[in-house]
Structure 1
Amino acid sequence: MAENKSEKPVFDPLPSPQEFCLTVPLYEGFRYNKDASNPFFGLEHFKGSLDCYCHGCGRHTVFNRMGEPKYQEHHHRSNYIFVLWFSCSRDRNHQACFIFHSHEGVIQKIGQNPSLADLAIPDLEKYRPVLGDEGFRELTRAVGLASHGVGVGAFVYLRRIFEALIEKARQQAATEQDWDERAFENARMDEKIAMLKQHLPKFLVENRSLYGIMSVGVHTLSEAKCLDAFPVVRVGIELILDEHLERHAREKKIAAATKGISALGAALKEK
């Protein structure tokens, strides 16, 4: 009879301290070797800085560690809570804290202030002109849900944003003489994107599989897998929006230059 061998414990690669504080959702657990010496020393005694938004200053800044980690009053090495404090390099009264819990070989972040959404949303404000107020609210909801560990719901909002961008392009294409609305309605999403390629950012056209990924996330993937995929999908959406912003900025500059050249030409003719 074959000898039964006990399975080797599986441990997770721990995020960097910056990632753990600024991007990892609350309550996402990471398994570590509890028999090892100082298994997450790099996090617990992190001496570096965080580059993130400061609500007190109203802008991005560098937050520096404040002193040593603070622990709960009574703690045991296998079950305890510690807090990392950071202060804004511009004003030490502007602070951020992150609370971690270690228990039975699992470490997770169980609290923070400001929240992940509070840190991320100011960076998203630039997309409001492209998305409109409703679309902007959906984007911030997606980020907020993901920051609280709700992956499927976050994917739903990202997919709604994607669909709204496609609809906006369809409305533009529908003004063209050779537009075939019936063919568009009967097409799959990747075919619709191909039909609208003249009205969509190049990144979206080249990466139209993004919609399928979001749909799989909504209908098939677990919360954990959606959360794992969320950062990549979010970046994809932001790149699409970035192209829209660049196009709008260029169109605005062209319009201003055209108006200025026209005015200058008229002034020279008068002379």
Structure 2
Amino acid sequence: MDFKQRSAELGWVIRDSSFSATHFTILTLGDAQCRLFPLDKVISFQSGGASRSDDLEHLLNDIVLPKLHAYAGRLVLHGGAFLWSGFVVGLIAQSGHGKSTLSASLQAAGCSLLGDDALILRHNPNGVVAERIYPSLRLLPDSLENIFPTIKLAAPVANFTDNRRVPFDVGIESAPLRALFRLTDPGKDIRVVQLAPAAACMAIIQNAFAFDSEDADEARNRFAQAALAAQVIPVFDLTYPRDYARLPEVHTAIFATLDMLPDTPRSETTRM
């Protein structure tokens, strides 16, 4: 499914750069730019040549699309996710903290990956369901070489970055959420610490997408959903050295933490 279809599902339409209205937001990334008109639910951008097509794709899929979901009132996290015993486990962090590298290493170790960046949390009577926005995995050349040494060709993410899009087997798109791990700044030792509900709520909010960070109603809705999630989903701080050789130890620490969680009945919410 492409961006046009995904945005149309949310009620937005795409117009060319001649579209005009009084209330809009400008988003720029590399050589690409688009305008969002929330009152009209219009996305306007100018298609460019090859030099900006990758930038535009990155802007639309990785920044605009999560914002459209946030505008629809959904809780969207900066997070990678993998499948564990039929449940989703989320890895939340801001850019540059290593969630793509850790997600990729788990995929390489045999875990089924949902994606590496944007995750929607939906509440239902059985708990919380996590759903990826679209399947993505992006790695810098160093991580690509260390984790997937047999992959020699990977498409660039955008014109202004060395990140590459890494192909992977796309499995399910949603399942019940079991836990969230927030990646902290690097540390010498590997540590996993569970957060109290109040701190967990703040961790979720700090790693959530916002359509308009200054909109009070949107902020209240985001807080309410984060607080509810923090009451039912365990959230952990994960500290570890950014050392490829120690990633298997990080996996072990994650799996050991998950194994100690109380049993939770499975939900029939998994979607392909």
- Aligning the two structures, in what range does the TM-score lie when normalised by the shorter sequence? under 0.3
Larger Rg: 1
Task: Report the TM-score, using the length of structure 2 for normalisation.
Answer: 0.28
Higher relative CO (Cα under 8 Å, sequence separation at least 6) belongs to 2
Going by fraction, where is strand more abundant, 1 or 2? 2
